[in-house]
Structure 1
């Protein structure tokens, strides 16, 4: 004898079918678009949780310092003394070789060479040449790996930054931090796995627009997107309980919301609902952990002095660098810091000293702070922009000032810790810092190397999306660069 509900389902009608079957196509589409979480909701046998590394990684944390706009390599780390004799002479066609230019300088009648106006000095046992504007980095070159032969495919900011962060010039892919979060999981259940901070530059002459798309989880589960910490006021909106609402009431409310979300997830299998459940719980736990993490009163006077006077000023690069150390110390896997205003199309002499003053002491302090605490070996620090700058001056040229256009053919990045080869200069550019003459490092190879240090074979570190095994390094050839590794 069937009950009424079973009889209704047996004698199914049009209205019942439409009401109960309306989500089937949507759920199937989500299984394709959203990967393993949706697949598990539809009964697949994909394993739950982080995939985990393929082999023991040398690094368990990453601090990525992105200089938005493209630092001029020949004014900082890629010293070209031969250019002194080329002042105001045109860049030879034999050097340019018809390479693509931006529309900002392609119409120039001339391409006058602008040698760096700054002095350089050989430093440390590595003999690395460093600009006079970076006195603190001069003291720590033997802890750093300098890559002078980076090259990228993009020539404009938005696609170049997106490519550097996600491995593709088109927005919508997971960024490096999201991949690290997805692959390794959390080291602290009370803090985000991936945190983003946008530092405030002292000079704000020409800042580039950056957005949350750069720290998106893309087609990875939503909980792997970066959590952005604000640089003024509460680090996260609504981190504190509203006036008159005690913690117990918020806990009861969250439990009720969680049950409702769970009912929706059990019924529809929407991975975004599962993300929402997890993020609500994380947000509640963060009410205690984030204020403690961002409270610098527990830091010694010596540590604050090491990072510089700006360390106690929220939103400065020095402040975010110190917070980055506190975060990885507490188990945050990946910390991304953006520092803007490196887009020096003009007024290099007026802006570069401010940019270097912002980052020089904090970068050196971060390396030494991690080293003193025994954390540098398993924390990989990365510094660099999305491309480099041209040796020729964009627009006018004077003995006191010049500008530099975008240049994807070669630029300098550095890394420290995490098993990279400290005290090494890798790669070489020509006398014009225009073309690479030895050991090029494309962006995809850099990504493959970073994943290697985290314990991943970039070819096997994939997620199924739209019928393909998607990966950070994409479908074009990429390889780990052994010369970068200790």
Structure 2
């Protein structure tokens, strides 16, 4: 803290103007403000910085979100449309959306064949032959829809519930609501996140306590081998010396808090110092994939250069999940292709699916074998889907009007398709699930009532679903 002589009322007394005002009647205004700020931080909390316990019995303990950046095409993956194949090249017989991202032409049939799999007989395209083997573990959501046709707005909507304001991410809300099961690891980790289209806002905490935000491991533009916590090991100081340093800092910061009143930024810094110290013992072990057998590494595709990068992310996700991290996001993206095929649909989706299909199937298999799938909700999808009409000769434009995501484990019904788009796959039509509904349903699976998980800020209560959201409990097992 700076102690400029011009601020001192009396060098002999050692009192600053701020201290004097806080100690006199004028300081009552500051005390009142501090009380209001503290009330805002703990509107739903039993103690400062803590949210309420679960509102009802949870079906899932944690979430692994497999985010496919760019918008994979539902009608080419998990939403079979024979009518689209039949009318390939014809004009769309109904109106296109009023707001479109780019100009589009006639109907474009899928270049991939579909086949029925499992006891459920759900159609899956040849893009995902390995995930297809796990189809009886999936709850395929064919009627998801959003409100934004641009990547930036759609990513923010999916991750934060708002495409126009800075709001806490869903991982931060879940971390706020439930916390981590492991005090030595963050409650929210995002592996190789994209820095584009919202960037850090997609895993930020906004006005929630800062300790709720996601901790990024690596970035999407670099190999997952580099997704490590920097400076996780300290070769200069022993653990005992570091513990003494942290304790000293903690005492000094607590003394400052006692004098100045509640301060969220300082509280968050105290928590971050403590967590950083604890992570030194847990994080290296969690990220040490050499502890996994050759068979497990092969299950995730680590022995194949095509699948190794995403497979490593998925295996890390399983290791963090079994250690009690509450929300883990795994992002598939790169600086060139992503899932955003405005042209060369066949080439781009072929490449992307080859990279993720085997690792995703491996993750589902591994979670189930370890008894983790029933308590871990796996969510797959992108920020929107693709149009059934062509952009150019062989591409598809953005389509937020109706697209596919899927869930697995975590208390959802298995081997089912929920909702439907129209016969060509353009608009969500049956049992429509808006992004707000998706969030409300996800929270409910974790035992949280989306209308009660609120945080008072700037004079009003905020929540992930804002003033909307319907829980689709028909998918609950």
Same fold, TM-score > 0.5, yes or no: yes
CA distance in 2, matches of 1:290, 1:458: 31
1:154-173 equivalences in 2 (<5 Å): 154-173=148-167
Q: How many residues align?
A: 455
Q: CA deviation at 1:260?
A: 2.1
Please name the residue that 2:383 is paired with. 386
**Residues 338 and 254 of structure 1, relative CA distance in 2, 3 Å threshold:** same
Please name the residue that 2:249 is paired with. 257
Deviates more, 1:186-195 or 1:258-267: 258-267
Question: 1:189 aligns to what SS in structure 2?
Answer: coil
Q: CA deviation at 1:311?
A: 7.9
Q: CA deviation at 1:33?
A: 6.5
1:48-59 equivalences in 2 (<5 Å): 49-59=50-60
Q: CA deviation at 1:446?
A: 1.0
| Cα deviations by residue, 1:34-69 (Å, 9 ceiling, x for unpaired) | 7644789xxx98666331101110101110111111
CA distance in 2, matches of 1:15, 1:55: 46
CA distance in 2, matches of 1:21, 1:316: 62
**Residues 182 and 394 of structure 1, relative CA distance in 2, 3 Å threshold:** same
Please name the residue that 1:297 is paired with. 290
Q: Is the 8 A contact 1:296 1:312 kept in 2?
A: no
| Cα deviations by residue, 1:239-287 (Å, 9 ceiling, x for unpaired) | 111x433333323322222222222222222111111111111101101
For residue 402 of structure 2, the aligned residue among 403, 410, 419 is 410
**Residues 26 and 294 of structure 1, relative CA distance in 2, 3 Å threshold:** farther
For residue 338 of structure 1, the aligned residue among 323, 331, 340 is 331
For residue 283 of structure 1, the aligned residue among 276, 281, 286 is 276
CA distance in 2, matches of 1:88, 1:430: 18
Q: Is the 8 A contact 1:304 1:312 kept in 2?
A: no
Deviates more, 1:80-89 or 1:183-192: 80-89
Please name the residue that 1:136 is paired with. 130
Please name the residue that 1:481 is paired with. 472
Q: CA deviation at 1:76?
A: 0.8
CA distance in 2, matches of 1:263, 1:392: 64
**Residues 46 and 288 of structure 1, relative CA distance in 2, 3 Å threshold:** closer
Q: Which runs of 5+ in 1 are unaligned?
A: 201-206
Which TM-score applies when normalising by structure 2?
0.88
**Residues 294 and 311 of structure 1, relative CA distance in 2, 3 Å threshold:** farther
| Cα deviations by residue, 1:285-315 (Å, 9 ceiling, x for unpaired) | 1011000000011111221111113589998
Q: Is the 8 A contact 2:65 2:330 kept in 1?
A: yes
CA distance in 2, matches of 1:113, 1:22: 71
**Residues 299 and 232 of structure 1, relative CA distance in 2, 3 Å threshold:** closer
Please name the residue that 2:459 is paired with. 467
For residue 200 of structure 2, the aligned residue among 174, 188, 212 is 212
Q: Is the 8 A contact 1:34 1:220 kept in 2?
A: no
The RMSD of aligned alpha carbons is 3.0
Q: CA deviation at 1:406?
A: 0.7
Please name the residue that 2:21 is paired with. 17
Which TM-score applies when normalising by structure 1?
0.86
Question: 2:191 aligns to what SS in structure 1?
Answer: strand
**Residues 24 and 360 of structure 1, relative CA distance in 2, 3 Å threshold:** farther
Q: Which runs of 5+ in 2 are unaligned?
A: 1-8, 219-223
Question: 1:129 aligns to what SS in structure 2?
Answer: strand
CA distance in 2, matches of 1:444, 1:69: 20
Please name the residue that 1:203 is paired with. none
Question: 1:213 aligns to what SS in structure 2?
Answer: helix
